[in-house]
Amino acid sequence: MIRLAFLLFLTTVASSSMYRPIVLMHGITSSAAGMDELAGWLRTSFPGVYVISVEIGNGVDDSFLWPLDKQVEHFCETVLADEHLRQGFNLLGYSQGSIIARGALERCSLPVHNLITLSGIHQGVFGIPYLLKLPAQFRELVSKYAYETPVQNVISVANYWRDPDQLDRFRSHCHFLPDINNEREVRNETYRNNMLKLNAFVMTYSDIDEIISPRHSGLFMGYAPNSLHVETWNNSRQFTEDLIGMRTLWEQGKLYTFTAHVKHQDVPHAPNKDFLVQNIFPFFNNTLP
Ligand SMILES: *[C@@H]1O[C@H](CO)[C@@H](O)[C@H](O)[C@H]1NC(C)=O
Ligand SMILES: *[C@@H]1O[C@H](CO)[C@@H](O)[C@H](O)[C@H]1NC(C)=O
Ligand SMILES: *[C@@H]1O[C@H](CO)[C@@H](O)[C@H](O)[C@H]1NC(C)=O
């Protein structure tokens, strides 16, 4: 009897400790606790899985007061210092967390198996609703002076403010997004190589997102030059020139997209639970070799 119980115990430990760890990155003006509900569902669905929700600085304030270069550096330090993550992990970023996660993967060559972004901002944001997330005194700084260095240095949103009337300035003066999207004159092949190591890149957006404009940024689509019309993905430079390997991932069947139907702030919460369990959880259902 005792032996059987012990064997059962061993089996449980072995099977439960094998799920790939999960790293979560929250959105702007939020904190690690904002991902607690999702983390709880993951722990229930994948018993024994190691889940961490990374917080940058003091969370709510530093999420918009730290430039994204610094946020990514901090994210990499946290992840690289965690011995549970050495063998690899699945990485999920929500909203602003989408480009922190992707930037960290590209720059720090993190051992990510599946990269999942929920309502991401891969082609930036441009519009008032998102600015309302910021305290009032910061909004005009972004809408009027986003590409001035002092603004780039103090408000995260400036680092992915993609003004379709100033795309040249965006590419040359915006500190973060054009870099991790490989839109500069000199590309960084490491970024592309790191993306191509993924098993899957999963992107979602919500068709009623009221915060991100254009909401299709979640699927890596942005405004066409000098217009407020969203460029189709296959016409964008990101796709045609395969800047960070998106076209290759697509050709290899490693790119997945899903459309949710909830408000932006509900994406990691109960109103979106069925959508997440059905479409996203399968990408966490994998074990370490
Ligand atoms: C994980 O995959 C296994 C095998 O296909 C399946 O039985 C199980 O229900 C899945 N778990 C979740 C939470 O999706
Ligand atoms: C490319 O990115 C890596 C990782 O961030 C960095 O070490 C390297 O210097 C970059 N290379 C170029 C050409 O910018
Ligand atoms: C590009 O994407 C659009 C919208 O998804 C689609 O209708 C069109 O057929 C695609 N064109 C090519 C050449 O694949």
What CATH number is given to the structural domain containing 58? 3.40.50.1820
- Domain annotation covers residue 7: no
What integer is the mean pLDDT of 61-67?
Answer: 92
Catalytic residue among 31, 53, 63, 95: 95
pLDDT exceeds 60 at position 10? no
- Domain annotation covers residue 289: no
pLDDT exceeds 70 at position 103? yes
State how many domains the chain has.
Answer: 1
DSSP reduced 3-state for 248: helix
Q: Is the pTM of this model over 0.85?
A: yes
The two three-digit tokens of residue 49, written as one number: 């899985």
What integer is the mean pLDDT of 84-106?
Answer: 98
pLDDT exceeds 90 at position 233? no
Structure confidence at residue 5 (pLDDT): 52
For the chain, the residue count is: 289
**Residue 95 annotated to the active site:** yes
- Domain annotation covers residue 23: yes
- Domain annotation covers residue 12: no
What integer is the mean pLDDT of 243-265?
Answer: 98
pLDDT exceeds 50 at position 16? no
Each residue of 160-199: pLDDT tens digit?
A: 999 999 999 999 999 999 999 999 999 999 999 999 999 9
**Distance (Å, whole) CA 177 – CA 91:** 19
- Domain annotation covers residue 9: no
* Atom 4 of ligand 2: nearest residue by CA position: 107
Distance 232 CA to ligand 3 centre (A): 7
- Domain annotation covers residue 182: yes
Each residue of 252-262: pLDDT tens digit?
A: 999 999 999 99
pLDDT exceeds 60 at position 6? no
Is there an atom of ligand 3 within 6 Å of 232 CB?
Answer: yes
**Residue 61 annotated to the active site:** no
Is there an atom of ligand 2 within 6 Å of 109 CB?
Answer: no
- The ligand 1 site (C-beta within 6 Å) comprises 45, 281-282, 285
The two three-digit tokens of residue 234, written as one number: 């296959």
What integer is the mean pLDDT of 93-106?
Answer: 98
Distance 282 CA to ligand 1 centre (A): 7
Average pLDDT value over all residues in the chain:
94
**Backbone torsion region of residue 57, taken as left when φ is above 0, otherwise alpha when ψ lies between -120 and 50, otherwise beta:** left
Domain that holds residue 58: 19-282
Is there an atom of ligand 2 within 6 Å of 180 CB?
Answer: no
What integer is the mean pLDDT of 103-120?
Answer: 98
DSSP reduced 3-state for 63: helix
- Domain annotation covers residue 13: no
- Domain annotation covers residue 270: yes
Query: Which residue type does 45 have?
Result: S
Catalytic residue among 74, 113, 122, 264: 264
